[in-house]
Amino acid sequence: MKIGAVDLASPLAIAPMAGMTDTAFRRLVKRHGGCGLVVSEMVSSEGLVRGIDRTLEYAEYTEEERPVSIQIFGGDPEKMAAAAQVVEGMGADIVDVNMGCPVPKIAKHNAGCSLMREPAHAASVIASMVKAVRIPVTVKMRAGWNDGDRNAPTLAKMVQDAGASAIAVHGRTAEQSYSGLADWDLVARIASELTIPVFGSGDCIEPEQIVERLRSGVQGVLVGRGVLRNPWILQQANDLIAGRAPRQVTPEERGRFLLDYIELLLSERTDESRALTHERWVVNKLRALGSWYTKGLENGSHLRTAINSAASLQQVRDDIATFFCSQEASPAA
Ligand SMILES: Cc1cc2nc3c(=O)[nH]c(=O)nc-3n(C[C@H](O)[C@H](O)[C@H](O)COP(=O)(O)O)c2cc1C
């Protein structure tokens, strides 16, 4: 499939997740196969335009991740256009606009999902970005702001008309946050009404669910929490699509993923890691991933507790090695 002129080898992508989908994590998922597109954590348009170091770091990527989409948030058309130019200047393949974040800190600045409450303004943000850059501009939205205003079908058409090259829809409202279930009927309806590719997002935890969603009429699927629990899920879904049995993952491989993540993080120097000690920063990153990664594992809470109480990075490594090399870890029933 294609987004503008950008070819995707697979219609499956890692969803943008603040605090989680950093370049190290994306690289590892990509190496395990099946991933056609990676999307960065959301990055402030304001910070990009002002050249703030920490913001620029959130937008960093490596060549092996291509094609790469950088997601930006903001509500001012000129600033968003200027930020899109920064993203293009960094060499990214796609610039994505966050119209889904329900967090008040973002939404109150007329950014994130707030943009869905002013569709004409949201479309003007996209039009201004499309005019400013040559790379494709895409949009990630929710079903709407709340149940009384599920306007994703209307907004989707408006941003298509404004020049967006693809959209992704997480089928929940901002008010729902993560409660209830994503409305995939709505997503499929939008896909049937648009001419640009539509990605669906929400609640794919097993590879079979990804395949089922792909067959519901969307052109692609963005997988978020399912990848944090199981970084092999995209490859396993691709196996199913190709008529093969999904790749089996051994406990040792699951442990190796976390150890490799530690090594990649250690090789990075970030502004955030300078504020803490580098080691403390890596431990915090492992705690954040560990809270998701251990969810699908039998006795996963044991590892979660161990990582959360570890006094050093070496202790985290030892806990991981012990957990995955003993028989404690097997996929939960
Ligand atoms: C920890 C976390 C952080 C997220 N951060 C972002 C973000 O920065 N930008 C965005 O568009 N969506 C963000 N999302 C939403 C996901 O991209 C996705 O649409 C949502 O989690 C539903 O998909 P899932 O059920 O596969 O996780 C985030 C979700 C989670 C769980």
> Catalytic residue numbers?
101
* Pocket mutation for ligand 1, best pick of 170, 183, 289 (most atoms within 8 Å of C-beta): 170
What distance in Å separates the CA atoms of residue 208 and residue 158, rounded to the nearest whole number? 33
User: If you measure from the C-alpha of residue 178 to the centroid of ligand 1, how many angstroms do you get, rounded to a whole number?
Assistant: 9
pLDDT of residue 268: 84
- The encoded tokens of residue 331 equal 């996929």
* Distance in Å, CA 288 to ligand 1 centroid: 14
**Does the structure show a pLDDT above 90 at 60?**
yes
273 pLDDT exceeds 80? no
Integer Cα distance of 114 and 99 in angstroms: 7
- Answer for the pair 294, 259: CB distance below 8 angstroms, yes or no: no
Instruction: Please compute the mean of the pLDDT values over residues 52-59 and round it to a whole number.
Output: 92
Q: What is the DSSP string of 215-264?
A: TTT-SEEEESHHHHH-TTHHHHHHHHHTTSPPPP--HHHHHHHHHHHHHH
Residue 201 Cα, ligand 1 centroid: separation in angstroms?
9
* Averaged pLDDT for residues 80-94: 98
CA 42 / ligand 1 centre spacing (Å): 10
How far, CA to CA in Å, does 240 sit from each of 24, 68, 113, 218? Answer: 27, 25, 34, 17
Task: Give nearest CA residue, ligand 1 atom 23.
Answer: 202
Packed helices 77-89 and 119-132: angle between N→C axes, nearest 10 degrees: 40
Q: With a cut of 60, say whether residue 82 has pLDDT above it.
A: yes
So what's the pLDDT on residue 79? Answer: 97
Share of the chain above pLDDT 70, in %: 96
**CB-based contacts of 73, cutoff 8 Å, min separation 6:** 42, 43, 44, 45, 97, 98, 101, 106, 111, 112
Cβ–ligand 1 distance for 238 under 6 Å, the answer: no
| Mean confidence (pLDDT) of the chain | 94
- pTM of the predicted structure, to 2 decimals: 0.95
Ligand 1 near 204 CB (within 6 A):
yes
What tens digit of pLDDT does each residue of 170-183 get? 999 999 999 999 99
Residue whose CB lies within 8 A of the most ligand 1 atoms, among 12, 14, 17, for a mutation test: 17
| Mean pLDDT to the nearest integer, 98-105 | 93
Q: Count of alpha carbons within 13 Å of 175, Cβ hemisphere only? A: 8
In this predicted model, what pLDDT tens digit does every residue of 63-78 receive, in sequence order? Answer: 999 999 999 999 999 9
Give the closest residue (by CA) to ligand 1 atom 18.
Answer: 224
Confidence of residue 277 (pLDDT cuts 50, 70, 90): confident
Q: Would the CB of 213 count as within 6 Å of ligand 1?
A: no
Which long-range CB contacts under 8 A does 121-126 form with residues at least 24 apart?
A: 121/75, 121/77, 122/155, 122/158, 122/159, 123/155, 123/158, 123/159, 123/161, 123/162, 124/77, 124/162, 125/74, 125/75, 125/76, 125/77, 125/80, 125/97, 126/97, 126/159, 126/162, 126/163, 126/164
Q: Per DSSP, what are the bridge partners of residue 161?
A: none
Q: Is the CB of 207 under 6 A from ligand 1?
A: no
Q: What is the pLDDT of residue 333?
A: 42
